[in-house]
Amino acid sequence: MHPTPGPGRIQLAGRTVHLAWLREHTSKTAPLFARARAEDGHARCLCRSPALRLVIRCTRAGRYHLAGWPGEGEQHASTCPFYKLGPGHSGRDSYSTQAIREADDGVSIRLATPLTRPWDCPVNRDTAADEPHDEGHARRTVGLLGLLHWLWEETQLNTWHPSFRHRTWHQCHALLYRRLRETSVNGQGLESVLYLVPPFTPQAAAANTAALEAFRARLGRHGSTERRGLLLGQIKEVAPTPYGVAYRLAHQRTPIYARAALHARAARSFRHAFSRAAAEHGARVALFVVERSPGGHLVAADLAAMLTTRTYIPADSSHEVVMADALAARRRAFTKPVRYDSADAVLPDFVLTDLHPAAYVEVYGIHGRESYDQRKAAKREFYQRQGAWLIEWDVAQPLPPLAHPDRSRCGPGA
Ligand SMILES: [Zn+2]
């Protein structure tokens, strides 16, 4: 029997199954994965006909999972979980295979920030954030913003499809948590070193508190080693304290403390995430490097913050939040390319994936700055050369028509 094509349907060792089913029943499906790996060497994604190959990976803990075949992400249906934009659409292109290594047992990432150090070794707080990077040379390590963007891109949290309706932290948590279990950072399982703030429910409160306690207990001195950890959550409020600030997080009572100097640097480096507009109209997600203070508090040693819409689509400015929300309201399918650690990466602001070839959206917020105008001209020329459809919005003007061309004649709202 021929399997019906469609997103989420997988062919594994001659059987057609749903990806969601495979992910839910990891132990029950292990023999099927093992057989497919031995007999075919790969699985098949049925989002397109002919089917596309998928890599079968098995973590050191013996957990099987699937990954897109390298270089074939663009060929999947735009609604497929293995769909990826082609080269030139992600800051990921700037890393060497040392920084992000994809192997049979999962992805291993070399994070610039050390998470363990000998107990008597003084901390060099600046080495982590500012790795020298020569133009034209691939980065050998991943910074905090790079890791945050990688997680968002791998879980497709930077994409939107009209079928989604809404996206909550609960859904983000589920997608991210699975990815943590398939990834290692600096030789350790990401799941063990990163605490992903779980969604709060009264039923889960006790379990959440216990999980945070277990994470806190891992930090600090253990024998001759001092351990730090990563914490990923949504900043709800930045409150002043006598020594700096307390980051109050959504879904968690325990705040993260930071010295004034660190917060000042973060507010400069991630100014859109810490702007007033971000707090009012969007959300901000942060990845912290945390230490345990002598008093048992969680203290940030470093952080990266990302502005997003309320549905967690990343945005590089509050104007992009407006654009992303408007595209979602017009029922467009789109992806927000993320720059990782490359501040100077030239990427489209948004890519509309419901058109073939994909179309682009550019948001122009700054006037009269030469470098910005040059970049704008370079981008325009690039799109013209590609023959790509470009929607431009100068934020001093009303939003341009954003409806899909097939629906634009259906009435108001275009
Ligand atoms: Zn697919």
Query: For 116-148, how does the pLDDT look when each residue is reduced to its tens digit (9 = 90+)?
Result: 988 776 655 444 444 555 556 789 999 999 999
DSSP annotation of 403: S
CB 49 within 8 A of CB 80: no
| Distance from residue 18's CA to the centre of ligand 1 (Å) | 12
- Would you say the C-alpha torsion 401, 364, 287, 179 has a positive or negative sign? positive
Whole-angstrom distance, CA of residue 74 vs CA of residue 352: 13
| Distance from residue 77's CA to the centre of ligand 1 (Å) | 6
What mean pLDDT is predicted for residues 25-49?
92
What mean pLDDT is predicted for residues 349-367?
90
Q: Tell me the sheet residues that pair with 11.
A: 16, 44
| Distance from residue 19's CA to the centre of ligand 1 (Å) | 10
Dihedral class, residue 217 (left if φ above 0, else alpha if ψ from -120 to 50, else beta): alpha
| Distance from residue 350's CA to the centre of ligand 1 (Å) | 21
The more confident residue out of 374 and 6 is 374
* pLDDT tier at 414, thresholds 50, 70, 90: very low
- Percent of the chain at pLDDT > 90 equals 72
**pLDDT higher than threshold 70 for residue 76:** yes
pLDDT at 370: 76
End-to-end CA distance of the chain: 44
Whole-angstrom distance, CA of residue 348 vs CA of residue 337: 7
| Distance from residue 76's CA to the centre of ligand 1 (Å) | 4
| Distance from residue 4's CA to the centre of ligand 1 (Å) | 13
| 268's tokens | 């400069």
| Distance from residue 211's CA to the centre of ligand 1 (Å) | 35
| 331's tokens | 């029922």
Q: Which of 214, 232, 288 is nearest to 257 (CA)?
A: 288
- Percent of the chain at pLDDT > 70 equals 93
| Distance from residue 274's CA to the centre of ligand 1 (Å) | 37
User: pTM value?
Assistant: 0.91
What mean pLDDT is predicted for residues 155-170?
94
| Distance from residue 228's CA to the centre of ligand 1 (Å) | 38
What mean pLDDT is predicted for residues 260-288?
94
Whole-angstrom distance, CA of residue 159 vs CA of residue 157: 5
Dihedral class, residue 45 (left if φ above 0, else alpha if ψ from -120 to 50, else beta): beta
| 135's tokens | 């133009």
Structure confidence by residue, pLDDT tens digits, 225-243: 999 999 999 999 999 999 9
| Distance from residue 11's CA to the centre of ligand 1 (Å) | 11
